[in-house]
Amino acid sequence: MASHLLRQPRWVLVAAAPALLFLSLVVPFSAAKLTTGYYRKSCPRVEQIVSDVVTNKQISSPTTAAGALRLFFHDCFVGGCDASVLISTNAFNRAERDADINLSLPGDAFDAVVRAKTALELQCPGTVSCADILALATRDLVSMLGGPFYAVPLGRKDGLASHAASVEGNLPRPNMTMDAMIALFAAKGFTEQEMVALAGAHTVGFSHCKEFAARIFRAFDPSMDPRFAQALQKACAKYVEDDTIATFNDVMTPGKFDNMYYLNLKRGLGLLTSDHALVADRRTKPLVDLYAANQSAFFRDFSRAMLKLGLLGVKTGRQGEVRRRCHDFNNLFA
């Protein structure tokens, strides 16, 4: 694992029973081949094994859940949900995980998938793809933090390509305008509502100070609560010398998956420029208001959006492989 992925952020600012949801969508042909019973005969304990491993990992490393959410999103939005983000760079190829925007992906999330893969290889060798493991792990970790538990169709194959050059332009940036955000998500087939629901993942996790420094230094962004901006300025005072300094996305309930993110936006406690844009834009503000007032609505729409995300660009059959190790193609020269 690359050394930059093992670096942990410096924490300087701290501040419902899950429901099983089965959802139906119109999906592309490859995604239609996925089914919740895909491993029923070949690896019947797959979900329990993944759950056990990632639960233990989350207990020992509490940032794992938020990291897995981000890892899953970054994987799916670049070429589809095929575990290409897990591939390590080698002498022949600079992989996705070494693209600039992916350098801060937390090592604990990668480690959770690797541990689950190791456990599954002992039980069901060469059977369960890394892409399916990442999808299951993300769902289980969201649920572990109090979020919704939704069905995950399985049968993805692991991708055969991973190139850092393919990342740029496929992932949202912290300073994006709402027009740019909507256009990016629309290009992937997501509505404005699905975009706002997926943004709710920011109810957990952290952001590095460099990602929002422009909002708090020189002059405070007037859309921010002044006390919040002052606290961030103090917390991030040395971020130029130490780029690992980070703050929680949700300073109120950072370890709980809930709708507090949306409440924070309405109070001027949004961290990123792209966060604030959701409550400032007339197209997305009604959705922020809805989710701030109704956590059940947020959980319902988040689950639907995550299911759709998990079907994005999946590979099946000969389009991919089941990797022996998640960070390497089975064929070095793939």
Q: What is the pLDDT of residues 151-203, one digit of tens each?
A: 999 999 999 999 999 999 999 999 899 999 999 999 999 999 999 999 999 99
- Provide the pLDDT for residue 29: 52
- Provide the pLDDT for residue 254: 94
DSSP one-letter code for 325: B
Q: Which residue do the tokens 């660009």 mark?
A: 313
168 is in an annotated binding site: no
84 is in an annotated binding site: yes
Q: Which two tokens stand for residue 244?
A: 């690992």
204 is in an annotated binding site: no
Strand pairing report for 206-208 and 10-11: unpaired
Q: Where are the alpha helices (DSSP H) in 82-129?
A: 107-123
**DSSP 3-state assignment of 38?**
coil
Residue 137 neighbours by CB distance under 10 Å: 30
Q: Which two tokens stand for residue 298?
A: 């947020």
189 is in an annotated binding site: no
Q: What are the tens digits of pLDDT across the range 30-76? A: 566 899 999 999 999 999 999 999 999 999 999 999 999 999 999 99
- Chain Cα centroid distance, residue 236: 24
- Provide the pLDDT for residue 1: 39
DSSP per residue, 147-198: --EE---B-PBBPS---GGGTTTSS--TT--HHHHHHHHHHTT--HHHHHHH
Distance CA 233, CA 270 (A): 14
Contact status, residue 93 vs residue 287, Cβ threshold 8 Å: no
Q: Which two tokens stand for residue 112?
A: 């959770």
284 is in an annotated binding site: no
DSSP one-letter code for 207: E
Q: Which residues pair with 35 in a beta bridge?
A: 154
Q: Which two tokens stand for residue 184?
A: 């990016």
Sign of CA dihedral 168, 173, 179, 184: positive
172 is in an annotated binding site: yes
82 is in an annotated binding site: yes
Q: How far is CA 10 from CA 183, 204, 235, in A?
A: 34, 16, 10
Q: Which residues pair with 315 in a beta bridge?
A: 157
Contact status, residue 304 vs residue 20, Cβ threshold 8 Å: no
Contact status, residue 65 vs residue 104, Cβ threshold 8 Å: no
Q: Which two tokens stand for residue 69?
A: 């959410």
Q: Which two tokens stand for residue 259?
A: 């709708």
- Provide the pLDDT for residue 33: 87
258 is in an annotated binding site: yes
- Provide the pLDDT for residue 30: 59
Q: Which residue do the tokens 């998956």 mark?
A: 257
φ, ψ of residue 300 in degrees (nearest 5): -60, -50
78 is in an annotated binding site: yes
Below-70 pLDDT ranges, the chain: 1-32, 333-334
| Closest alpha carbon to 227 in 268, 262, 274 | 268
244 is in an annotated binding site: no
- Provide the pLDDT for residue 219: 76
Instruction: Return the active site residues.
Output: 74
| Closest alpha carbon to 296 in 205, 195, 197, 152 | 197
